């Protein structure tokens, strides 16, 4: 082990290493919180000056991070947010937690990762650790980041240390947090792995070392492709069983009684969040380099992408049975978040559902207790709405109420009693009701 690695390991072991986190969103902020609770000083970096200002005032914009504990760390000078990336030279470990979306052609958009890497390269110094946590295709850390970071003359594995450790955040999960979820770590060299593993050993219940950054990058893709394919399977079964007059939810419950060889997945109106709708296509794109077509992954993507259209069609059919046209129909979409009890609407199927109903001339409104304002989504730049309160009067005026996200806060009995038609995409309404259609 070289001297730079030895010095950094001692700093980490003594908790004197200063941690820098680039990207203060749904991945970066929980990571910041975890390091702070374990006794490390943290500097957060973001290009969004509004976020930086809010954090430095002790205000937060993510529901599951407490503003009170943030103010406590600010008061003790343990945490500071900044938009000045020159201050990256002050930290000992730089963790990059930025978005990795798809571009308009379905190809990986690494612009956030590349721009962050360029900022790091301008200020990287000897003895620092750089870790990418953003989900990406195999080879990103080695092929894309490394040349940028080494352009100034410092060498990865010798002068500074480079690793990949995929984030495993699950917003709203009450059973597992950042600290209690095992973390995969892959280093560019053995020294890189030792240093990165030592850092995460300080804050995570268990680290899982792998032989390379590529293996770590591939691990996250496998995790999310596994979920995408299985969700696509139950979504397809839902549509098949619906034609057969079979309740897919009853079938899943029955199959779940088997104590081995089965894992339940649940259908819905489509995929959401920043991972599952996007990550599989990073491997699809990369696989073309080795002349392989990822048929299984692409088929799953097609099925999951189709689900909002299926919801719209089921709603149109239900309206037709009641002598109503979707054009000018008053449609209320319940839930904008991509899953229950969180405030994250990234890639939410609700966005597509709203857009599809509007395309058919419906008058659409939405409610979400955690997302008061819909605005600024990349794929829906013209979609701007405000959440409306769910009242008995509103429900009675609606032609259809679509349960897109099954938030615990909703009073489903009240909704069903007052809405003339409910389209339930989440099995939120358990007992059969005449005005409830499963979709």
Domain co-membership, 315 together with 361: yes
Full DSSP string of 59-112: --SSTTS-HHHHHHHHHTT-EEEES-GGGGGG-SEEEE-----B-TTSSB--HH
Q: What is the pLDDT of residues 70-105, one digit of tens each?
A: 889 999 999 999 999 999 999 999 999 999 999 888
Q: What confidence score (pLDDT) does residue 92 get?
A: 98
Give me the catalytic one of 97, 192, 275, 398.
275
CATH number at residue 406: 3.40.50.720
Q: What's the pLDDT at 104?
A: 82
Does residue 98 fall inside a structural domain? Answer: yes
Alpha carbons 334 and 129: distance in angstroms, whole number: 44
Whether residue 170 is found in the same domain as residue 243: no
Q: What is the structure's pLDDT at 308?
A: 98
Report the number of distinct structural domains present in the chain: 2
HSE-CB at 408 with a 13 A cutoff on CA atoms is 4
**pLDDT at position 243, please?**
96
pLDDT at 138: 97
Query: What pLDDT is attached to residue 210?
Result: 98
Indicate whether 217 belongs to any domain: no
Q: For residue 23, is it within any domain?
A: yes
Q: Tell me: the pLDDT tens digits for 345-379? A: 999 999 999 999 999 999 999 999 999 999 878 78
From the number of C-beta atoms within 10 Å of its C-beta (0-12, 13-18, 19+), residue 239 rates as middle
Q: Could you say which DSSP state residue 163 is in?
A: E
Whether 104 maps to a domain, the answer reads yes
| Catalytic status, residue 398 | no
Q: Which domain holds residue 343?
A: 235-438
Number of alpha carbons in the 13 Å side-chain half-sphere of residue 307: 32
Q: For residue 426, tell me if it sits in a domain.
A: yes
Of 347, 246, 354, 227, the closest CA to residue 297 belongs to 227
Together in a domain, 285 and 397: yes
Residue 63 in domain: yes
Structure tokens at 160: 């500074």
Q: Is residue 108 assigned to a domain? A: yes
Joined tokens for residue 55: 């954090």
pLDDT value at residue 63 = 75
Q: pTM of the full predicted structure? A: 0.93
Query: Does residue 228 lie in a domain region?
Result: no
Biggest CA pair distance of the chain: 78
Query: What confidence score (pLDDT) does residue 21 get?
Result: 98
Please check whether residues 161 and 261 belong to one and the same domain: no
Q: 329 with 362: CB under 8 angstroms? A: yes
Which of 148, 176, 211 is the C-terminal boundary of a domain? 211
Which residues in the chain show pLDDT less than 70? 64
Q: What is the pLDDT of residue 273?
A: 86
Nearest to 118 by CA among 97, 154, 156, 144: 144
């Amino acid at each position: 082990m070289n001297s730079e690695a030895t010095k950094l390991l001692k700093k980490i072991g003594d908790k004197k290493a200063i941690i820098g986190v680039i990207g203060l969103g749904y991945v970066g902020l929980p990571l910041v919180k975890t390091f702070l609770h374990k006794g490390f000083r943290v500097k957060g970096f973001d290009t969004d000056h509004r976020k930086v200002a809010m954090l430095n005032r002790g205000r937060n914009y993510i529901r599951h991070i407490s503003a009170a504990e943030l103010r406590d760390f600010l008061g003790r000078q343990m945490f500071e947010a900044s938009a000045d990336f020159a201050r990256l030279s002050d930290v000992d470990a730089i963790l990059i937690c930025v978005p990795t979306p798809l571009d308009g052609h379905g190809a990986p958009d690494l612009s956030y990762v590349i721009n962050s890497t360029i900022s790091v390269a301008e200020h990287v110094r000897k003895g620092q650790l750089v870790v990418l946590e953003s989900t990406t295709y195999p080879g990103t850390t080695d092929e894309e980041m490394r040349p940028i970071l080494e352009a100034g003359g410092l060498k990865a594995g010798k002068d500074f240390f480079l690793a990949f450790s995929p984030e495993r955040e699950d917003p709203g999960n009450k059973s597992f947090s950042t600290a209690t979820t095992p973390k995969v770590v892959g280093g560019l060299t053995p020294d890189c792995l030792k240093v990165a593993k030592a850092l995460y050993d300080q804050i995570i219940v268990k680290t899982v070392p792998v032989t390379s950054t590529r293996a770590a990058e591939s691990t996250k893709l496998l995790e999310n492709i596994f979920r995408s394919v299985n969700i696509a399977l139950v979504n397809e079964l839902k549509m098949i069983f619906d034609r057969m007059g079979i309740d897919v939810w009853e079938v899943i419950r029955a199959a779940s009684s088997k104590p081995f060889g089965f894992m339940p997945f649940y259908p819905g109106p489509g995929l959401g969040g920043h991972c599952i709708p996007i990550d599989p296509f990073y491997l699809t794109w990369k696989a073309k380099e080795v002349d392989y077509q990822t048929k299984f992954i692409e088929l799953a993507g097609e099925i999951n992408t189709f689900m909002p259209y299926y919801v719209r069609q089921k709603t149109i059919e239900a309206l037709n049975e009641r002598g109503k046209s979707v054009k000018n129909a008053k449609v209320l979409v319940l839930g904008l978040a991509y899953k229950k009890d969180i405030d994250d609407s990234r890639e939410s199927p609700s966005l597509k559902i709203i857009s599809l109903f509007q395309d058919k001339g419906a008058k659409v409104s939405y409610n979400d207790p955690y997302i008061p304002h819909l605005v600024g989504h990349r794929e829906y730049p013209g979609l701007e709405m405000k959440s409306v309160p769910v009242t008995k009067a509103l429900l009675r005026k609606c032609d259809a109420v679509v349960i897109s996200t099954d938030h615990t806060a909703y009073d489903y009995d009240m909704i069903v009693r007052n809405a003339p038609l409910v389209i339930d995409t989440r099995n939120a309404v358990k007992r059969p009701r005449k005005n409830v259609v499963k979709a």
